[in-house]
Amino acid sequence: MQFQSDTTTVDYYQIQNTEQVRLRVVTFLGKTLNKMCIEVHDMAGEIDHLLRCNFAVTINTKRPRQYVPMDKVAQCLMHYRSEAL
Task: Tally the domains of the chain.
Answer: 1
Mean pLDDT over residues 45-70, rounded? 92
Q: What pLDDT does residue 84 have?
A: 58
- 83: pLDDT confidence band, cut at 50, 70 and 90? low
Give the span between the Cα atoms of 11 and 62, in whole angstroms. 12
For residue 78, how far is the Cα from the chain centroid? 17
Mean pLDDT over residues 1-12, rounded? 95
Give the span between the Cα atoms of 24 and 27, in whole angstroms. 10
* 75 membership: H or E segment, kind and range: helix 70-84
Say which range, 24-28, 51-55, 77-81, has the weakest mean pLDDT. Answer: 77-81
- 75: pLDDT confidence band, cut at 50, 70 and 90? confident
Residue range(s) defining the domain that contains residue 16: 2-84
Give the span between the Cα atoms of 18 and 40, in whole angstroms. 11
- 12: pLDDT confidence band, cut at 50, 70 and 90? very high
